[in-house]
């Protein structure tokens, strides 16, 4: 009889343990939130990472004159530099 009982408990264990674990986690979450206090989120925390990055880039270029660029005729080199300049002859 005990083997039948243990087999039934073993087969129904996931159906019992999941709701128990869910309730314990929920109670623990709310208890910790109550004990620590719930700070109001600031405006920076509400923004996503991409929004924060865009704001930072806008602040960086806010004081610059974007019309002052180097002419392509004045640039000496159009292609990116090779790794360690191995494949480029020395320019004088």
Which DSSP string corresponds to 54-68?
HHHHHHHHTTS-TT-
Residue 12: how many other CB atoms lie within 10 Å: 10
pTM of the model: 0.38
- Residue 19 located in a structural domain: yes
What DSSP character marks residue 6? H
In which domain, by residue range, is 16 found? 11-35
Give the separation between CA 9 and CA 3, rounded to whole angstroms: 10
- Residue 69 located in a structural domain: no
Number of domains in the chain: 1
> pLDDT by residue for the chain (92 residues), tens digit each?
889 888 888 888 888 899 999 999 999 999 998 898 866 666 556 788 898 899 999 998 888 888 888 777 777 665 566 666 666 566 54
- Residue 92 located in a structural domain: no
- Residue 5 located in a structural domain: no
44 contact partners, CB below 8 Å, separation of at least 6: 52
Structure tokens given for 32: 């910790």
Specify the length of the chain in residues. 92
Structure tokens given for 91: 């320019």
- Residue 70 located in a structural domain: no
């Amino acid at each position: 009889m005990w083997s039948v009982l243990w087999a039934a408990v073993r087969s129904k264990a996931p159906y019992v343990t999941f709701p128990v674990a869910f309730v314990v986690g929920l109670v623990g979450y709310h208890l910790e939130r109550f004990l620590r206090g719930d700070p109001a989120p600031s405006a920076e925390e509400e923004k996503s990472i991409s929004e924060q990055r865009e704001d930072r880039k806008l602040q960086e270029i806010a004081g610059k004159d974007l019309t002052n660029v180097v002419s392509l005729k004045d640039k000496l080199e159009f292609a990116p530099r090779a790794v360690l300049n191995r494949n480029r002859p020395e320019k004088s």
